[in-house]
Structure 1
Amino acid sequence: MKIVQILLITLCLQVGLQKAYTQNFELNTIKSTLFWTGKAAFSSYSLKGTIAAKKGTLSMTDIAMSSLNIIINMKSIDHENNNLKSHLKNEDFFEVKTYPEATFSINNQALVKSDTIILIGKLTIKGITNTENIPATLKQNESGIVLKFKYAIDRTKYGVNHNSPSIFKRMKENAIADEFILEGTLVFSK
């Protein structure tokens, strides 16, 4: 009976200490950058633009990320071609008037191993939520945390089907690849 009590006390102390060492961080939207890259399905033609994070929070223990929540401002989708920018914002793509935000939040604690981390979480775009496993690098310093990632997202899983070769099987000339790349540097401050 004493062994069980000792084990319970030790477990409670470990949980209490872990919570005591949790640090909370806020996303610095000015220093953070997000880029998207889309490309043609059957050629090397590609386009790159930006999108902005609206806000975010992150909580860390010594060895793991215990929470991460990011809100993306979908109205901030940008490209030098104004026609393309308008098209990305309309019903063919992201319907930003109806869905002004996209979100990402991790489901479970994510362990940090040699500055790398796998962010397993829920991504919501256009009101549709899917689980994504996003590999990232994590650097921590006195002022905060920097997360860097480059990840391919299948837009058709989120109802973004315009000119998709997997939805419209006979499309060739104007087909747009189903996957787009989201690449970012997210800076979190204490």
Structure 2
Amino acid sequence: MNNKLSITYLILIITPIVFSCRGPVKEENKNNTLASSLSVDAANEKYVIDIKESVVTWKGSNLLGSNNHTGYVYISKGELIIKNGNLMGGTAEVDMNTIEDEKHGRNNGLVDHLKEPDFFDVKKFPSSTIVLSKAAPINSENRKVAGNLTIKGITQPVTFPAKMEIKDGIAKLNGRLVIDRTKWDIRYKSGKFYDLLADQTISDSIEFYIKIVAKR
């Protein structure tokens, strides 16, 4: 009986010692992993988009003839991630309620129509987003930027050429993105979905000229 009690006491004494010895090892590994993650992230620099200096210019046109419309829409927030002078990623959220025509007018038939379900359905989808994933260098100033564009809740991959300049804590990106609007369920007067539109057919291509100024 005494032998059994002695063995029991011995187990009770040894068990916490074993677990207390193993605990710090796990915690050390956890801390090392965290430190490694932080050291990688430390190489990245975040540049916050200056929404007063940044703008997206849009252009749409009829498929036939010279009739076209141009205007603006504004970025509400976003950031660029820079590492060693290279664009590593970023995000930009566009406030679709800021759509303007080329004369900076927001209260007119054109803008009202663009906000309706025929086009961007702004009441249901008040914002659009582009998430940049990478930028491959073309030359010293120009990049081929890849990312995902979300319009009307639909996300599609996109690529576009952009000129990058990073100097004195300021990153500037100027790019031209052309999309097929029907991929984002914008079908109004598209020749792919409607017949006999003739010269009223609207081009499926929408051009976006992106100007981003971001500061560290």
TM-score w.r.t. the length of structure 2 is 0.76
Deviating more after overlay: 155-164 vs 72-81: 72-81
| Match runs of 1:123-138 below 5 Å | 123-138=149-164
Structure 1 residues 141-150 or 19-28, which shifts more? Answer: 19-28
Q: How many residues align?
A: 176
Q: Which has the higher contact order (CA 8 A, sep 6+)?
A: 1
Aligned counterpart, 1:68? 90
Alignment correspondent of 2:75: 53
Contact kept? 2:136, 2:145, Cα under 8 Å: no
Structure-1 residue corresponding to 2:58: 36
Equivalences for residues 14-29 of structure 1 within 5 A: 19-29=41-51
Give the whole-Å Cα distance in 1 for the aligned partners of 2:141 and 2:71. Answer: 27
Identity, % of aligned positions: 26
AA at the equivalent of 1:68: G
Q: Give the equivalent residue in structure 1 for 2:208.
A: 182
Give the Å deviation of 1:144. Answer: 1.0
- Higher normalized helix content (fraction of residues): 2
Larger Rg: 2
**Which residue matches 1:161?**
187
Residue of structure 2 in register with 1:11 after alignment: none
Aligned to 2:135: 110
Give the aligned partner of residue 118 of structure 2.
92
8 Å contact 2:159–2:177 — kept in the other structure? no
How does the TM-score come out when normalised to structure 1?
0.86
1:106, distance to aligned residue in structure 2 (A): 2.0
Unaligned runs of 5+ in 2: 1-36
Runs of 4+ displaced beyond 4 Å: 15-18
